[in-house]
Amino acid sequence: MTAIEMQPPRLILGPVAWLRKNLFSTWYNVLLTLLALGLLYALLRPAVQWSLTEARWGVISANLTLFMVGQYPRDQLWRVWLSIYLLGALLGLSWGIWKHAARGFALIALGAGLAFAVIGLLLNSNVWINWLLSVGILLGFYALGRILPARGRSILTLAWLLYFPLVILLIAGSRFIPFLSPVPTNIWGGLLLTLMITIIANVVSLPLGILLALGRRSKLPVVRYFSIGYIELMRGVPLVTVLFMAYLLVPLFLPLGVRPPDAVIRAIVGFILFEAAYQAENVRGGLQAVGRGQYEAAQALGLSGPLTMSFIILPQALRAVIPAIFNSFISLFKDTSLVAIIGLFDILRVGRSVLAQSEWLGTHREVFLFAFFIYWGFNLAFTYGSRRMEEALGVGKR
Amino acid sequence: MSLPPFLRNVRVLQLLAQILFVLLLALAAGFLYANVTTNLARQGLTVGYDFITNPASFDIGESYISYEASDSYGRALLVGLVNTLVVSALGIILTTVVGVIAGIARLSSNWLISRIAAAYVGVIRNTPLIIQLAFWYFGIILKLPPVREAVALPGSIFLTQRGMYLPGFEPTPAFNFWRIYIWIALASLAIIWFMLRLIQNRSELPLPLWAYLAYIVVPILILWVGFVTQPEPPLKANLPVLTGLNFRGGLRLTPEFAALLFGLVVYTGAFIAEVVRAGIQAVSRGQVEAARSLGFTGAQALHLIIFPQALRVIIPPLTSQYLNLAKNSSLAIAIGYPDLFSIAGTVINQTGATIEVIVIMMLSYLSMSLFTSLLMNIYNSRMRLVER
């Protein structure tokens, strides 16, 4: 006897039936729908009218480079482009080799690159060539990744690990490399500054957070109470106060004769101190998710405490907290906007300086909406990419 | 080589490790302390709280306690703390309302409503608060028309670039006689609560929903007696009226306060909406179905079955959102509302007492956070006891 497999018939609603079911099912739903429509009309009509007629969007296109990189020397911009090309190459390669896991990020990058190229063309700027080139690089490396033997996988991981230090070196420069003259951090600005702070603070705070999480679960009371005290202190005060503290106190804490670092470095120190406490709580969640059996099995196999931790427990714990780490990346990215308060030239502060130009007085809405959209677009893209990656890796399911 | 036996004892090793840790910490602290003292000595500064009684000699835009420029720095910091507390307390109340409405709206069967709520949550959660604040303040409130062309909303609310004018209330001469009625009305609420509990404990069935109407009907009856016996109502509306170049009367919110409160409420509300939605969705469908098959009405099921269970999931993350709101109020500095952080910055600039003021500021925020989480933990444990 064979079972007859039959899908239930698909429910297909006509447009009228759909409207009736989703918008006008009961008398109060009718009321709510009409109210919502009225509200939308009242809010959107003036907004659309303003953005099409009154708004002076020229303030954005005229200062786009300033918003993106601040005062970064214009003749050194090739370093920023090089970082983007490298990112494109790595994304393409990952897409080709890791397939589904990296596809979300790669597709987003592809779409964004094409969109920026079109915007560049519309604004009559030369950047469209650069964007088209990065898209080409991404696609080229995708093709390369497809034909590369499986051995390439481990190299790819290594390349990603090397990418971030390399970008920091590229952007910051060094006295010892001939083509890379140092660019002092105090002239970094705009989106570039935001991204650099986010990346550095995240990369450094994760190991610190792991140490703090282990300390919080330690059997040694002194270590445990120190970790708890630090974590709760940092979580109990606003980020702004930590940044402010780092800004004012780092010079005081350094020994005599050491030149105090400039504001960007101090801000990064503040972010690391703050973010480490939050990362510690993320990692602690992951550690708690690893079952007792894992510890016992490792012990039965004769592994010592540190070996158990680094080869059995932490890999599983960190895998479980990938979504949480992605989330704190996004929230740190948003939080970098606070550096404007201690005087760094991030997007917000660049916006304020643009508003001070006599030509663009009173364009507050345009400037802040633009900043708003940068953050929103970036976070949306990042969320999409990371969700696709989590789905493909089955994070939290296996 | 063999170690002496006491070094193979785990407890001795643990003790040694802790002593080592403390020593390292002490070394680091000593190094930093030495650096700070030499650096401060070089700048000719001393650490101490003497400055706190010196006159502050700067003005503060708005304050809920009396303050003049001749008051001390301590008083100025207190003004900042009170300003922070006022905006946080109001913000927490309003954002709970916004968040719960948005959270329920996201689960609405009405497509349009749930889409609007989803868009609100998605956009607000993904952008920095400081940019939202700057937008509300510089882009919206300061672009409102001047006082003479104020936007008038129904209910005597006026929006102008100099702030928001709301109707206020002031006591009439009869207010003193009214106190007794107000107290009786409040006491009646407590009595009703007690009675309803008593009845509930005796009966197997849940109370019908109309029993809860007593909370509204009885106080209104008592107040009605008041209106009959007293010559005039206790409060009289104090409406803002445009006289000459400015509004007179009513309640005025400064543009800074209005922008900060609005920004905080909108921002935190989006996060609370997610918390509420997750809490309601955490209650399994079976619970609703079981309640319905036991004969509960939809409203009863929501009130007696779903809400108590959802609340248990909602309270811990809700607490951290409240704390976030209080901490985020420190972004007030971006739009010039004189909160604790912004006044502390001014005090540091004037006195150079960096470390002392930072300690005061951090301790204030920390005790605010700890106090709020203490309250919420008490509430949370009570909810749990009721549950099991």
DSSP character for B56? -
* CB contact (8 A) between residue B116 and residue A348: no
ipTM: 0.86
* CB contact (8 A) between residue A379 and residue B109: no
Q: Which residues of A touch B22 (CB under 8 A)?
A: 222
What order do you get walking across the sheet with B151-153 strand by strand? B151-153, B157-160, B163-166, B251-253
What does the alpha-carbon distance between residue B14 and residue B35 come to, in Å, rounded to a whole number?
A: 32
Cβ–Cβ < 8 Å for B73, B56: yes
DSSP reduced 3-state for B137: helix
DSSP character for A312? I
Q: Mean pLDDT across the stretch B300-312?
A: 82
Q: How many residues does chain A have?
A: 398
* B206: confidence class by pLDDT, cuts 50, 70, 90: low
Number of C-beta neighbours around residue A217 at 10 A: 13
* CB contact (8 A) between residue A251 and residue B39: yes
Q: Which of residues 145-184 of A touch B (CB under 8 A)?
A: none
What one-letter code names the amino acid at B23?
A: L
Confidence at residue A398, expressed as pLDDT on a 0 to 100 scale: 47
DSSP string, A164-197: HHHHHHHHH--TTSTT-----GGGB-HHHHHHHH
Confidence at residue A2, expressed as pLDDT on a 0 to 100 scale: 57
* B248: confidence class by pLDDT, cuts 50, 70, 90: confident
Q: Which CATH superfamily is domain A192-361 in?
A: MetI-like (1.10.3720.10)
Q: Which residues of B77-113 are buried (b: 16+ CB within 10 A; e: fewer)?
A: bbbbbbbbbbbbeebbebbbebbbebbbbbeeebbbb
Cβ–Cβ < 8 Å for A192, A68: yes
Cβ-count burial of A348 within 10 angstroms (0-12 exposed, 13-18 middle, 19+ buried)?
Answer: buried
Q: Which residues of A282-315 are buried (b: 16+ CB within 10 A; e: fewer)?
A: bbbebbeebeeeebeebeeeebeeeebbeebbbe
What one-letter code names the amino acid at A352?
A: R
Q: Which of A36, A337, A365 sits opposite B116 (nearest CB)?
A: A36
- The nearest alpha carbon in chain B to A234 belongs to B366
Q: For a pLDDT cut of 70, what percent of chain B falls above it?
A: 97
Q: Which residues of B touch A23 (CB under 8 A)?
A: 110-112
Number of C-beta neighbours around residue A277 at 10 A: 22
Confidence at residue A395, expressed as pLDDT on a 0 to 100 scale: 63
Confidence at residue A249, expressed as pLDDT on a 0 to 100 scale: 87
Cβ-count burial of B342 within 10 angstroms (0-12 exposed, 13-18 middle, 19+ buried)?
Answer: buried
Nearest to B92 by CA among B274, B258, B265: B265
Q: Which of B40, B135, B370 sits opposite A372 (nearest CB)?
A: B135
Q: Which of A226, A236, A245 sits opposite B366 (nearest CB)?
A: A236
What does the alpha-carbon distance between residue A277 and residue A271 come to, in Å, rounded to a whole number?
A: 10
* Topology given in CATH for the domain delimited by B73-167+239-387: MetI-like fold (1.10.3720)
Bridge partners for A268 per DSSP: none
Q: Which residues of A228-242 are buried (b: 16+ CB within 10 A; e: fewer)?
A: eebbeebbbbbbbbb
Question: Residue B230: pLDDT above 80?
Answer: no
Bridge partners for B238 per DSSP: B168
What does the alpha-carbon distance between residue A332 and residue A195 come to, in Å, rounded to a whole number?
A: 10
Q: What is the mean pLDDT of each run of 10 residues along chain A (398 residues)?
A: 67 76 78 89 89 84 86 86 90 84 86 88 83 90 82 79 88 83 85 90 91 90 92 91 90 81 89 94 87 88 87 86 85 90 88 88 88 91 86 66
* CB contact (8 A) between residue A37 and residue B341: no
State the virtual CA torsion across A239, A240, A244, A250 in degrees, nearest 10: 20
Confidence at residue B342, expressed as pLDDT on a 0 to 100 scale: 92
For residues A254 and B85, the model is more confident at: B85
pLDDT tens digit string along B327-356? 999 999 989 899 999 999 999 988 888 888
Mean pLDDT of chain B: 85
DSSP string, B278-331: HHHHHS-HHHHHHHHHTT--HHHIIIIIIHHHHHHHHHHHHHHHHHHHHHHGGG
- Token pair of B52 as six digits: 């706190």
Whole-angstrom CA distances from A21 to A24, A35, A129, B57, B67 are 6, 17, 49, 66, 60
Q: Which of A219, A239, A348 sits opposite B134 (nearest CB)?
A: A348
Nearest to A222 by CA among B12, B18, B26: B18
What does the alpha-carbon distance between residue B289 and residue A349 come to, in Å, rounded to a whole number?
A: 54
Inter-helix orientation angle A100-122/A77-98, to 10°: 140
Q: Mean pLDDT across the stretch B63-82?
A: 88
* Alpha helix segments (H runs only) across chain A: 15-22, 27-49, 58-62, 64-69, 77-98, 100-122, 127-147, 152-172, 190-216, 221-236, 239-253, 263-289, 292-300, 305-307, 314-320, 322-335, 347-355, 364-393
Nearest to A268 by CA among A181, A188, A373, A166: A188
* B263: confidence class by pLDDT, cuts 50, 70, 90: very high
Return all residues near B174 (Cβ < 8 A) that are at least 6 apart: B230, B231, B232, B233, B234
* CB contact (8 A) between residue B135 and residue A364: yes
In angstroms, what separates the C-alpha of A145 from chain B's closest C-alpha?
33
Cβ–Cβ < 8 Å for A101, A392: yes
Confidence at residue A242, expressed as pLDDT on a 0 to 100 scale: 93
Which phi and psi angles does B252 have, rounded to 5°?
-115, 130
What does the alpha-carbon distance between residue A170 and residue B46 come to, in Å, rounded to a whole number?
A: 43
The domain segmentation of chain B, as residue ranges, is 5-42, 73-167+239-387, 168-238
Q: Which of residues 247-266 of A touch B (CB under 8 A)?
A: 248-249, 251-256
Q: Which residues of B touch A198 (CB under 8 A)?
A: none
Return all residues near A164 (Cβ < 8 A) that are at least 6 apart: A199, A203
Confidence at residue B388, expressed as pLDDT on a 0 to 100 scale: 43
Confidence at residue B262, expressed as pLDDT on a 0 to 100 scale: 94
Whole-angstrom CA distances from A288 to A216, A230, A283, A299, B157 are 12, 20, 9, 18, 53
The pTM score is 0.85
Cβ-count burial of A333 within 10 angstroms (0-12 exposed, 13-18 middle, 19+ buried)?
Answer: buried
Question: Residue B222: pLDDT above 70?
Answer: yes
* Alpha helix segments (H runs only) across B230-284: 255-282
* B2: confidence class by pLDDT, cuts 50, 70, 90: low
Q: Tell me how far the alpha carbon of residue B112 is from its chain's centroid.
A: 30
For residues B258 and B225, the model is more confident at: B258
* B232: confidence class by pLDDT, cuts 50, 70, 90: confident
A281 shares contact with chain B (CB less than 8 Å): no
Inter-helix orientation angle A263-289/A190-216, to 10°: 40
* CB contact (8 A) between residue B131 and residue A371: yes
Cβ–Cβ < 8 Å for A342, A244: yes
* CB contact (8 A) between residue B341 and residue A238: yes
pLDDT tens digit string along B351-366? 888 888 999 999 999 9
Q: Which residues of B175-188 are buried (b: 16+ CB within 10 A; e: fewer)?
A: beebeebeebbeeb
* Alpha helix segments (H runs only) across B43-155: 73-106, 111-125, 129-134
Cβ–Cβ < 8 Å for B123, B102: no
Q: Tell me how far the alpha carbon of residue A360 is from its chain's centroid.
A: 30
